[in-house]
Structure 1
Amino acid sequence: MGPENSPELQEDELFEHHKFVAAKGQEPLRVDKFLMNFIEHATRNKIQKAAKDGHIWVNGATVKQNYKVKAGDEVKVLFEHPPHEFLLVPEAIPLDIVYEDEVLLVVNKPAGMVVHPGHGNYSGTLINALLHHTDNLPTNSNERPGLVHRIDKDTSGLLLVAKTEDAMTHLAKQFFDKTSEREYVALVWGNLEDDEGTITGAIGRHPKNRLQMHVFPEGETGKEAVTHFKVLERLGYVTLVSCKLETGRTHQIRVHMKYIGHTLFNDARYGGEKILKGTTFTKYRQFVENAFKILPRQALHAKTLGFVHPISGEMMRFDSEIPDDMSNCIEKWRQYSKHSQ
């Protein structure tokens, strides 16, 4: 049985509550390090403060930060948390709006912008900006205003937002029925064997690290996931690929590409910030380090988006330019591959 996470707000909204069950294969590990693996944006200081305040329990008893978590332990932690209404404050943050009408809008999200408020990111999110831009956004099933789908903080690109309840229902159904069109461009480690193909494999939480997703090829856990890929350009030790999503699971492209042995370039969460392909020459290592500096995030951009308009019934398609950080990194690899042949 893998870890189970049930974040829930306390009645008085003063705390953020997490609960985990350590997996069967869990080696003894200090509880502060264990929680660092499971809670995004939780700093060691914040975890240690929770321990000092008596807000970490293992199997119902409070523990200190050096307690060693073992397989089967139930770990609970309470963090101080801003009131819920604080999370949904309109903020005057500029938005790159590609299209807007009375029922929806399409935004080009920059890398580094969190989509919705949550643990560690209570302001400066896309939702905060949207609430300033538009009144009375409808909420989705997760009570996130306007969101039909999401993209990761460090992924750039197109995002669809509903402005009415009817539009939310209509557009969400298209994503559920897999009739929406989404194409991403990714720079991945290695030279793919095939020019195109399809990756299938259920995606669920990693059994030992809640911050990662994991492919379960037998489908024993997780949700069905399908990614279609096509090679756009081979650049020696890295490859530029187009990925079309049939399903939209958390970290889907990042996890599926790692699963077939081609982790996204500089995807720190999945090991792509290491030199996974290439030589051991100092000059090459220096080149890759410079490429990481140019693109200090995973090389992933949500380039195109297509859907049927909920009122007109018209098929709408939008395209976005690959942002400078990613295009400059691609060009750097392009020049390197030319000169190293």
Structure 2
Amino acid sequence: MEENELIDDDELYEHHRIVADPKQQLLRIDKFLMDRLPNVTRNKLQAAIKDGFVKVNELEVKPNYKVRPEDIITIALPEPPRETEVIPQDIPLNIVYEDKDLLVVNKEAGMVVHPAYQNWEGTLVNALSYHFQNLPEMEGNEGRPGLVHRIDKDTSGLLVIAKTEQAMNGLAKQFYDHSIERTYYALVWGVPEPDHGTVNINLGRSLKDRRITVPYEDETIGKHAITHYKLLEDLRYVGLIQCNLETGRTHQIRAHMKHIGHTLFNDSTYGGDKILKGTPFSKYKSFVENCFKILPRQALHAKSLGFVHPITKEYMQFDSELPADFSEVLEKWRHYVQYT
């Protein structure tokens, strides 16, 4: 969710790979790239080089680096602004509550929340724009009507959507104050010891792979992030845990649980799609791979949501069932540890 705790979106990056000609003359890298990326300003390029988003032969370079023949240059730049007009699409929504000010939806896994690089259509926002007109937008968050928070594409569960400016402001303030109750269920590798605790460590993008969130011991780097967890069920090789968020950083639960040695089950981004606990003999390996097929995503579900209605001031609490893929894998683990 963000600077102001509202939406900590990863900026989307535009990737380029350029191979210098065999007869390339020595030339400063910013000048070299100016000729090949005509829509990018020199200041933006120089900032990208200084921040490590430009690599030559997989190594970061300084702004005065001179390109040599056959250098391989890779660049990751913030996605240039795209039209903020959202295409309304008739996509069904699982609405669990609605009034004139807000609604709560149960998002299925696989649905992207808002249009972004490589996902301009088929998102929750495209669906919202079809079913509701004139949803408000937060300042600086154009093109994402109604949103005050988000969950990852392959995370299922509850989201609150604002239908009016007043509702948006009231909900945004609660996210900013950390007063929204957000409970997630996750299946993780291993059984956490102690069986409850708090992970309080800054999170930020990895300098090596910008798609990944990593912890930073240095409190001046990254963003403040707090996750409370407790074990709900010990399944020997995996554990069902409950996580409650104070902050809402990108991939917060996924990165925090990996940090304490309990990567989410089948979270391919963080290495959870490999057997991390238990001896990989053939029967066990076959069992786990079958679970991966049933639940082809990280085992994370936004189970409950609680907040004060921004208009009526009534406290509202919503709960959701685990989706079928999560439930089936959980049952399989229960059966496996009981009979082996």
TM-score, normalising length: structure 1: 0.80
Aligned pairs for 1:41-190 (under 5 A) are 58-62=29-33, 68-72=57-61, 76=75, 84-85=83-84, 88-141=86-139, 142-143=141-142, 144-190=144-190
Distance in 1, Cα, partners of 2:79 & 2:316:
44
Distance in 2, Cα, partners of 1:200 & 1:253:
11
The residue type paired with residue 192 of structure 1 is P
Distance in 2, Cα, partners of 1:51 & 1:115:
35
User: SS of the counterpart of 2:338?
Assistant: helix
The residue type paired with residue 222 of structure 1 is G
Distance in 2, Cα, partners of 1:325 & 1:160:
23
Distance in 2, Cα, partners of 1:222 & 1:125:
28
- Look up the match of 1:11: none
User: SS of the counterpart of 2:60?
Assistant: coil
Aligned CA distance change for structure 1 residues 191 and 105 (closer, same or farther; 3 Å): same
After superposition, give the CA deviation of every residue in 1:154-205 in whole Å (9 maximum; x if it has no partner): 0000001001111111100001101110000000001111121111101111
- Look up the match of 2:241: 241
Cα deviation for residue 218 of structure 1 reads 3.1
User: SS of the counterpart of 2:292?
Assistant: helix
Name which of structure 1's ranges 142-151 and 313-322 shifts more when overlaid on structure 2: 142-151
Distance in 2, Cα, partners of 1:6 & 1:107:
23
The residue type paired with residue 245 of structure 1 is L
Cα deviation for residue 69 of structure 1 reads 3.6
Is the CA contact (8 Å cut-off) linking 2:306 and 2:318 kept in structure 1?
Answer: yes
The residue type paired with residue 91 of structure 1 is Q
User: SS of the counterpart of 1:290?
Assistant: helix
Cα deviation for residue 280 of structure 1 reads 2.4
In the alignment, does 2:252 pair up with 1:252? yes
Cα deviation for residue 220 of structure 1 reads 2.7
Aligned CA distance change for structure 1 residues 77 and 96 (closer, same or farther; 3 Å): same
Aligned pairs for 1:264-283 (under 5 A) are 264-283=264-283
| Largest Rg, 1 or 2 | 2
Is the CA contact (8 Å cut-off) linking 1:200 and 1:227 kept in structure 2?
Answer: yes
Is the CA contact (8 Å cut-off) linking 1:58 and 1:76 kept in structure 2?
Answer: no
After superposition, give the CA deviation of every residue in 1:24-57 in whole Å (9 maximum; x if it has no partner): xxxxxxxxxxx5xxxxxxxxxxx56x879xxxx9
Count of aligned pairs:
294
Aligned CA distance change for structure 1 residues 278 and 157 (closer, same or farther; 3 Å): same
The residue type paired with residue 186 of structure 1 is A
Distance in 1, Cα, partners of 2:75 & 2:233:
47
Aligned CA distance change for structure 1 residues 261 and 6 (closer, same or farther; 3 Å): closer
Is the CA contact (8 Å cut-off) linking 2:225 and 2:248 kept in structure 1?
Answer: yes
Aligned CA distance change for structure 1 residues 316 and 271 (closer, same or farther; 3 Å): same
Aligned CA distance change for structure 1 residues 278 and 96 (closer, same or farther; 3 Å): same
The residue type paired with residue 57 of structure 2 is K
Is the CA contact (8 Å cut-off) linking 1:112 and 1:153 kept in structure 2?
Answer: yes
Q: Which has the higher contact order (CA 8 A, sep 6+)?
A: 2
User: SS of the counterpart of 1:61?
Assistant: helix
Identical-residue share of aligned pairs (%)? 56
Distance in 1, Cα, partners of 2:331 & 2:77:
46
RMSD (CA atoms): 2.6
Cα deviation for residue 268 of structure 1 reads 0.4
TM-score, normalising length: structure 2: 0.80
Distance in 1, Cα, partners of 2:19 & 2:113:
30
Cα deviation for residue 217 of structure 1 reads 2.5
Distance in 2, Cα, partners of 1:58 & 1:145:
40
Identify unmatched segments of 5+ residues in structure 1.
9-16, 19-34, 36-46
In the alignment, does 2:327 pair up with 1:327? yes
